[in-house]
Chain A
Amino acid sequence: MAALVEMKNIVKIYPNGVVANNEVNFSVERGEIHALVGENGAGKTTLMKVLYGLEHPTSGQILIDGKPVHFHSPDDAIAAGIGMVHQNFMLVPSFTIAENIVLGKEPTRRGLLDRAEAIRVTEELSHQYGLKVEADAIVETVNVGMRQRVEILKTLYRGAEILILDEPTAVLTPQETQDLFRAIRKLVSQGKTVIFITHKLREVKEISDRVTVMRNGKVMGTLPTAEATREGLARMMVGRDVFLEVNKPPVQRGRKVMEVQDVSYVSETGRSMLKGVSFNVYAGEILGVAGVEGNGQTELVEVLTGLRPAASGRVLIDGKDILNRTPREVRLAGVAHIPEDRLTNGLALTASINENVIVDRYYNKPFRKGLLIDYKQVNKLGDALIDEFDIRTPSGLVPVASLSGGNMQKVIVAREFSFNPNILIAAQPTRGIDVGATEFIRDQLVRKRTAGTGVLLVSADLAEVMSLSDRIIVMYEGEITGVFPNAQEVSEEELGLYMLGLKRQTPEEMEAYL
């Protein structure tokens, strides 16, 4: 019997010359959960966009149920029973969930939208597939997990038999991820087929039946998940051995390098985003901050680095208060910052790599020579950092915009690490970058910590927080609700309960460990 989906010799060359898919063969059996993994830029999303009719292959053939098909647009793909849930949700935030689900194929009565019917079908679908949603809630008021369920229901409402989920767990908590996996299993038990794009190998092992690995626009192989190991998959993805487990020597906690005392922050719209946060960072340890995104972590980091004004509190470094000082004063106090959003804060994309790495030191020797900047020294530093941090680029003079995401992040890491900070604040240091660069950056973080730098690590990737940190604090709604002095001893589920606000420690319980 023919496979449900068969993509043969797919080639996709973008107009700018990038070869995203190169002679790709990919097939999916009916009723399976098929994981598609690979580094960023490996061509996973492009391949799925071709299947969903969003991109037209340069050459190659697609067969559904053994019959060749040509999709001119997603409408054709939807008609053939294919649905796709994108990484960035495509919902109308001000509409209700039911309205979003029926949008584009609305039940009508006398030419007008039949709201009651919309709610009825939403609830029926929700019940049938075990995807819990509140049909009459406004989308912008519900959490990310529910929005994702809305996206899935929307594709089901349009009659999808094959669901493509593009990195669905990137935005979810562990509990929400488990809920999603349960829902996926239920979908499959009712005859649906799921293609699951991810780069988290743990999830591949947990949820999928078969896995296809892509690298550099090509398929490196497809195998039953039962026969795959995480190490083996990582090797296929990267093309060499990858050390997934972080190897770090035992913590040698040093002196207190940063004291955060009772810091509060009120947003421009008047919302209280940080409510009296206090903790210490010690030399030689990684302090991880866990939490669902949007619970004050971004604000905390930006207040500590001088990018946002705090309402009250103190941040002491060597006895000196650096709160509400300029970013330069904070840097001069020895604080490095890997920003959460590298494109917004961390880089000037049109400027060269070399000019990006001197932003914190161009005014000092040896880069300053009299009235001028000594560009020989600048280029020397750039070349040295490109070498040391393995930034893949033809030279330091090319604009940062021409680099891949992972290499852009390495430019930031190179700059922030090379000024020998006492405190390193790393926000989402490996978000959206490939396995190779992630491994490199994690390794560098651990080295800095072992060399005696105090590291404050904020990450939405719980596995990252757990594997890198020596100590973990949990943030929930602008407060620290839990502290775990020994990161090895806490389970993911336990942290999840704190992250969702279902459990919290009293200030007395936390006091000794903050």
Chain B
Amino acid sequence: MKILRIPAVREVLRILLAITAALLLGFIITLLVSEDPIGAYKAFLTGPLSKFNRFGDWLEESITLIFVGLAVAVAFKSKQFSLGAEGQLLLGALVSGSIALFVPLPGILRIPVALLAAATVGFIYGWIPGYLKAHLNANEIVSTLMLNTIALKLYDYFLIFHIKPPNAGYNASDFFPKAGVLPSFVPPFMGDIYTRFSQQTNVTIMLYIMIAAFIAAYYMMFRTPFGYELRMIGANIKFANYGGINTKRTIILVFAISGIFGGLAGAHLAMGIHTKLIMNISLGMGFEGIVVATLARNNPLFVPLAGLAYGYLRAGADVMERASDVSREMVLVIQAIIILLVTAEGLLPVIQQRVAARRGANGQNAAALEGGENG
């Protein structure tokens, strides 16, 4: 039981327990709607690992989820309920995709420039609701949702009227040239493995950027003065203000930095997964960040685990839909129920409190009985 006292262990356990409970409930529903529930659920549970390309799909989607999860975690940790990741993602995809398509630089420059541009546009597009919140006291939930709409319409406008080739039959750009596509995360000299990964999956160097991003986010949040300011604002903004923290400046920066991760998620979608700009490139991916961040308790350290776990559920649901008689609607219902349970923050704490209360009652009793005399 000693190992349970380590917070990180408890946190991982909590995530796993939540998912197990969710899976059980999902199975019960599958029992009700499927002729072959075991087969269907097996597809759901093992689907993402059943084929190499599905494994790749899972990783790809998880990377996007981890980026948007980081975006949300940074904002939520300071109790700024920004829902703007969706808009930042769209603009990140638009800007990086445009550079990938049109800027005549060699790949070694074009890709960094595109990524930097995506991060910058995310930063700026995050800065706006931050400024509105800090200086005009605009509710961030409303402002970020409105900005999401603006971003979506801007994306569609530029795609349809400026980026799409005039003779194309549907609303999408050309495929990006090779200099504008993120390279595989496996270096070419690794021969066989390289071929498998680069041909069957779109897992790119974004994997490394993601790892760097979550470590950077963790250090920023828990080791830097800015992170301290961010967390104190989240814990008690009046205290932060009383203590001399410039709360307005910090809030604006929180929104803006959160936007960087959103922008990078967009670059990953455009330059890593689709390698072209398409309509509905996001489909609400930005909002999935809320699930990931909540699951990770807004701690960047746990965002990768939460992103992989949630990505697995989503990939599994896709496989189940394709490989069984469970309809897409039912798959979505099961998935939604799983999310509900997974994000129910109280699940493990309730058990913990019960245990702690029982232990505490005994301990306190003893303390109270021997206390008193020595005061």
Contacts and interface: CB of A to CB of B under 8 A. Distances in A.
A17 B357 contact: yes
A17 B225 contact: no
A246 B226 CA distance: 43
Interface in B335-375: 353, 356-365, 368-369, 371-375
Contact of A346 (B223, B239, B360): B239
A491 interface: no
A268 to B, nearest CB: 13
Given A326-B246, A359-B240, A351 B223 contact: no
A362 B225 contact: yes
A327 B364 contact: no
A22 B240 CA distance: 40
Nearest to A13: B361
A363 B223 contact: no
A307 interface: yes
A225 B351 CA distance: 49
Nearest to A218: B372
Nearest to B232: A348
A331 interface: yes
Interface in B10-24: none
Contacts of A375: 223
B235 A348 contact: yes
Interface stretch (A44-52, A60-68, A337-345): A337-345
Contacts of A346: 239, 242
Contact of B236 (A15, A22, A328, A349): A349
B84 to A, nearest CB: 25
A328 B241 CA distance: 8
A494 to B, nearest CB: 35
Nearest to B228: A362
A479 interface: no
B369 A363 contact: no
A350 B223 CA distance: 17
Contacts of B225: 362-363, 368, 373
Nearest to B368: A19
Interface string B223-253: 1110110011001101111111110000000
B219 interface: yes
Contact of B243 (A17, A218, A350, A359): A359
A16 interface: yes
A117 B236 CA distance: 49
Contacts of B223: 372-373, 375
Contacts of A331: 244
B364 to A, nearest CB: 5
A355 interface: yes
A216 B227 CA distance: 40
B231 to A, nearest CB: 7
Size category of the binding interface on chain A: 35 or more
A346 B236 CA distance: 9
Contacts of A360: 243-244
Contact of A307 (B242, B246, B358, B364): B242
A391 B225 CA distance: 25
Interface string A362-382: 110000100111010000000
A348 B236 contact: yes
B358 to A, nearest CB: 8
Contacts of B231: 351, 355
A17 B364 contact: yes
Contact of B372 (A215, A327, A345): A215
A452 interface: no
B235 A328 contact: no
Contacts of A355: 228, 231-232
A512 interface: no
B208 to A, nearest CB: 22
Interface residues of B, number: 37
A350 B237 CA distance: 12
A328 B244 contact: yes
A349 B375 CA distance: 26
Contacts of A112: none
B246 A328 contact: yes
A64 B357 CA distance: 33
Most B CB contacts (10 A, CB to CB) among A19, A216, A240, A348 go to A348
B239 A350 contact: no
A191 interface: no
A247 to B, nearest CB: 22
A16 B360 contact: yes
B245 A239 contact: no
A170 interface: no
Contacts of A347: 236, 239
B364 A19 contact: yes
Interface in B179-217: none
A16 B358 CA distance: 8
Contact of A371 (B224, B232, B235): B224
B228 A345 contact: no
B224 A339 contact: no
A258 to B, nearest CB: 18
Contacts of B246: 326, 328
Contact of A327 (B241, B353, B357, B373): B241
Contacts of B361: 13, 17
A216 B372 CA distance: 6
B244 A359 contact: yes
Interface string A482-494: 0000000000000
Nearest to A330: B244
Interface string B255-294: 0000000000000000000000000000000000000000
B363 A337 contact: no
B243 A373 contact: no
A350 B372 contact: no
User: Quick one: which of A218, A344, A351, A358 has the most chain B CB within 10 A?
Assistant: A351
A345 B369 contact: no
A265 B15 CA distance: 51
Contacts of A22: 368-369
A375 B243 CA distance: 18
A187 B225 CA distance: 60
The 5 tightest CB contacts between A and B, nearest first, are A239-B375, A359-B243, A17-B360, A328-B244, A348-B235
20 contacts: A17-B357, A22-B368, A22-B369, A216-B371, A240-B375, A326-B246, A327-B241, A327-B243, A328-B244, A328-B246, A331-B244, A339-B242, A344-B238, A348-B239, A348-B240, A350-B236, A355-B228, A359-B239, A359-B240, A373-B223
Given A240-B375, A358-B228, 19 more contacts: A13-B361, A16-B357, A18-B364, A215-B375, A216-B371, A346-B242, A347-B239, A348-B235, A348-B236, A348-B240, A349-B235, A350-B236, A359-B244, A360-B243, A362-B228, A371-B224, A372-B224, A373-B225, A375-B223
